[in-house]
Chain A
Amino acid sequence: MAETLIPREFSSAPIGIGRRITNYFATFAALAAIVLVLLPLGAIFAYLIYRGIGSINWAFLTQTPKPVGEAGGGMANAIAGSVLILGIASALGVPIGIGAGIYLAEYGRNRFGDLIRFTADVLNGVPSIVIGIVAYGLVVLTQGHFSALAGGVALAIMMIPTITRATEEMLLLVPNTLREASYGLGVPRWRTTLSISLRTATSGVITGVMLAFARVAGETAPLLFTAFGNQYWNWKISQPTAALSLQVFTYAISPFDEWHRQAWAGALILIFLIVLAVTAVRVATKYGTLSGA
C-alpha cells in the first residue's frame, strides 16, 4: 500500500548518506529475516518428501507395525486410529462449538456473553498437554483404562474454542436486515437463526471447523496418556488406539533405523492431510465454491 503513495522523487531528496545506509540496511535486514524464516520451512518440507516418499508403499498403508528387527509393516492401524479419534473429536466438538458460537452471536451481547467469550479465549490458550491431563482425569480414570474416547474428548476440548469464535465472527457478519426480513415473514427465531443466519455464514463456519480440525489433527501431547497407542487394529472407542502423530513420535525417538524411516513416511502423510485440508479451505472460500453449501 505504502509503495504506491511514496513519490519516486523522494529518494533524490537531500537525505544524508548515513540515513540512506541505515535505510538500505533495514531493508536488507527485513529481507534476510524472511529468508531465514522460509529456510526452515523449505528444509522441513524438502526433508519430509526426501525421506518420506521412498517409504510410502502399499504395505505401509495397509499393514500394522511389525516387531522390531523385522523389515516392512506399516501404519494402517495408526491412520485408522487417527480417523477414529478425530471422528469422535469432531462429533463432540463441532456441535458444541457451533452452538456456543450461535449463542454468542445471537443472544450473547451481554455480560454473560462476554464471560463466555473470554473463557473461550482462555481455553484456546491452554497448553495441549494440560488438556491431556484433564481428559485423563475425566475419561481414563472413570473408565479405568486408556481409550480412543479419551483421546477424542481431549481433542474436542481443543476444537471447541476455535469453532466457537469463528462461528460467532461469521454470524456477526450476516446483516441484521436479513434476520428482520425473516421475522417479517413470521419465521420463528430459531428457524431464522438456523436457515437464514447460519446458512448465510456456512462457508465461514466451515472454514473455522476445518482450521480447528487441522489444528488438532497433528496434536500428539494430549494423546500420550489418553489414546495411548496400540500396535494392532482397533475400532472400539473404549480401547487404546494408535494415532498417526503418536506413532511418528514413538518411532522418531526409537533407536531403530527402520522405524525412523517409517516415522518420516508417517509424518509426510500427516502433513499432506493437514496441508490438503488447509489449502482446500483457502481455495474453496476464496473462490466461493463453499458459499453455496
Chain B
Amino acid sequence: MANGALGAPRVSPPQPVEKSEVAVMPKRGVKPLIKTGFSHIADRIFYFAMLACGVCVLALVGLIVYQLITRSSLSWHAFGWSFFFRSEWDPVNEQFGAFPFVYGTVVSSILALILAVPLAIGVAVFITEMCPVWLKGPLAFTTELLAAIPSVIYGLWAIFVLGPLLRQYLEPWLMRYLGWTGLFDGPPYGIGMLAAGIILAIMVVPIISSITREVMTAVPQQQREAVLALGATRWEMIRTGVLRNARAGILGGVILGLGRALGETMAVTMVIGNRPEISKSLLAPGYTMASVIANEFSEATTDRYLSALVEVGLALFIVTIIVNILAQILVWTVTRGTPARANG
C-alpha cells in the first residue's frame, strides 16, 4: 500500500475459533433440506453484486485515465511534447510550458529524499535492531503517527514555525558556510525550495521507515545469529546481515516515499513560494506540478488554460503510477520472495 503507515495496520487477526459456534448456527435455523432453487439465484445475484464492486475499482482507474486524457487533449494538441520543456507560463496569452513545475517537483522531491532516507533507515534500524523490546511498539506507533497528520497541518506548522526558524537561523548559516556552492544564494525568505524539501522529508520518513522495518523483519533471524557468530559487532551484523539483504525492499520503500513526495500538494503549496522560476538556489521560491493545479485550477478561465493544468495532472499521474509500481515490485521481491541469500 502506498500509504504504508496508515494502510498497514498491525492488528491481531480475528479470533475465529471461539466465534465459530455462534456464527455457524444461524438463529433462525437453516433448513437442512437441500432446495437449490432460490439460494442458487441468490448466490448468482450476490456474486454479480460483488463483481460489480470489483469492476468499480477497475472502472475508476479507467475513468481517471479517460478524464485526464480527454480533458488535456486541447493543450496536448497545441504544444505536444514541448509542453514539458517550455518555461513560459502565461495564461493571458495562452502560452503554457510546464518546465518550472516539473523542475520544482523533481528538486523538492529529491531534496526530501536526501534528507529523509538516512533518517528513515536510522529509525528503522533503531526500532528493529537496537531498542529494548518494550519500547518497540510505542516508537513504531509514534513514528507512524507522523503519517496520520494531515498535509494541511504540516503546511500550517511550516508557515508559522519552520519558515521563521529557517529564515532566522538555518538559512543565514547555510549562506555563510555553504554559499560558495551557489545552492544557497539570495535573500533568506524562509519560504522556498528548502522549506518544501524539509517539510516533505518529515512527511515521507514514516513511509520509508515503515517499509524498511517490514523488509528488515523479513530477514531471517538465523542470518543475524550467523553473522554475529562470525565475530561481527552489532553494526557490522546490521550492515552485512540485514541491510544488505533487505536493500531491494528498502529501495522499494524509498521509491514509495518518492511517489508520495511527488504528489504531495498542500504542505508544499503553502511553503514553496509558488513562483514559476527556475533557480539554482534552494533558498529561492519555486513551484511544483501539484501546487500549480491546487492554486490555479478553480481560477482557470479559458479552456486551454484548464486543459494545460489537466495535462500537468496527467503527467503527475503517469509518473506516480510508474514510481509506485516499481516500488511495489521491489518490496515484493523481499517480503514475498525467496529467503535472503547470505552473500546477496
Report how many A-B pairs have Cβ atoms within 8 Å. 366
The answer to whether A182 touches B24 (Cβ under 8 A) is yes
Are B7 and A165 in touch, CB under 8 angstroms?
Answer: yes
* B145/A129 in contact, CB under 8 A: no
Q: Report the Cα distance A6→B202, complex, angstroms.
A: 33
B262: A residues at CB distance < 8 A: 127
Contacting pair A100 B57 (CB below 8 A): yes
Is B15 in contact with chain A by the CB < 8 A criterion?
yes
Question: Cα distance A32–B121 when bound, in Å?
Answer: 12
* Given A41-B142, A286-B12, also A15-B231 (CB < 8 A): yes
Q: Is A241 an interface residue (CB 8 A)?
A: no
A83 contact set on B, CB distance < 8 A: none
Chain A binding site: helix, strand, loop or mixed by DSSP?
helix
B156 touches A170 (CB 8 A): no
Contact yes or no, A122 B61, CB < 8 A: yes
Residue of A nearest to B27 (CB): A195
B177 contacts partner chain A, Cβ-Cβ < 8 Å: no
Whether B92 is near chain A, meaning CB under 8 Å from some CB there, is no
A13 CA to B65 CA, complexed, in Å: 61
Q: Tell me which of A38, A193, A228, A249 contacts B270 (CB under 8 A).
A: A249
Cα-based distance from A199 to B316 in the complex (angstroms): 40
A256 CB-CB contact with B under 8 Å: no
Residues of B within 8 A of A34 (CB): 122-123, 126-127, 139, 143
Q: Taking the nearest CB of chain A, how far is it from the CB of B201, in angstroms?
A: 9
Q: Are B150's CB and A104's CB within 8 A?
A: no
Whether A73 is near chain B, meaning CB under 8 Å from some CB there, is no
Distance A220 CA – B323 CA, assembled complex (angstroms): 23
Do residues A174 and B126 form an inter-chain contact, with CB atoms below 8 A?
Answer: no
What's the nearest-Cβ distance from chain B to residue A10, in Å?
7
Q: Please determine whether A27 and B130 come into contact, CB atoms closer than 8 angstroms.
A: yes
**A196 → chain B closest CB, angstroms:** 5
Tell me the count of chain B residues lying within 8 A, CB to CB, of chain A.
117
Are B153 and A22 neighbours in the complex by a CB distance under 8 Å?
no
The answer, yes or no, to whether B325 is at the interface (CB within 8 Å) is: yes
Q: Which of A64-72, A155-163, A231-239 contacts B (4 or more CB under 8 A)?
A: A155-163
| Min CB–CB distance B60 → chain A (angstroms) | 6
CB interface residues, B 134-148, toward A, < 8 Å? 139, 141-143, 145-146, 148
Task: Tell whether, in the assembled complex, residue A201 and residue B151 are in contact, meaning their CB atoms are under 8 Å apart.
Answer: no
* Size of A's binding interface in residues, CB under 8 A: 128
Q: In the docked arrangement, what's the CA distance between A8 and B110, Å?
A: 42
Residues of A within 8 A of B108 (CB): none
Expressed in whole angstroms, the Cα–Cα distance for A96 and B236 within the complex equals 49
Interface residues as binary, B42-60 with A (CB distance below 8 Å gives 1, 0 otherwise): 1101110111111111101
Say whether B298 contacts A225, CB under 8 Å: yes
B residues in contact with A214, CB < 8 Å: 6, 148
List chain A residues, Cβ under 8 A from B236. Answer: 19, 22-23
Do the beta carbons of B297 and A136 come within 8 Å of each other? yes
Instruction: State which of B74-82, B157-165, B178-186, B333-341 sits at the interface with chain A.
Output: B157-165
Segment at the interface with A among B28-36, B167-175, B275-283: B28-36
Task: Return chain A residues, CB-CB under 8 Å to B47.
Answer: 107, 190
Measured between beta carbons, the chain B residues less than 8 angstroms from A107 are 47, 50-51
Contact A133 B313 (CB under 8 A): yes
B150 and A186 contact, CB distance less than 8 A: no
A100-B57, A122-B321, A123-B57 in contact; A10/B228 too (CB < 8 A)?
A: yes
Cα of A40 to Cα of B202 in the assembled complex, Å: 8
Contacts of B234 in A (CB 8 A): 2, 6, 23, 26-27
Quick one: CB contact mask for A148-178 with B, threshold 8 Å, 1 for yes? 0000000001001110111000100111001
Give 8 new A-B contacts, CB below 8 A, not counting A130-B317, A275-B145: A34-B123, A37-B120, A41-B143, A99-B52, A124-B2, A133-B67, A174-B14, A211-B6
15 sample A-B contacts, Cβ–Cβ < 8 Å, listed by A number? A1-B133, A22-B236, A23-B235, A33-B119, A34-B127, A47-B161, A95-B53, A96-B57, A123-B57, A125-B324, A126-B64, A161-B57, A214-B148, A224-B297, A291-B19
Closest 4 CB pairs of A and B: A218-B150, A33-B122, A127-B263, A99-B53
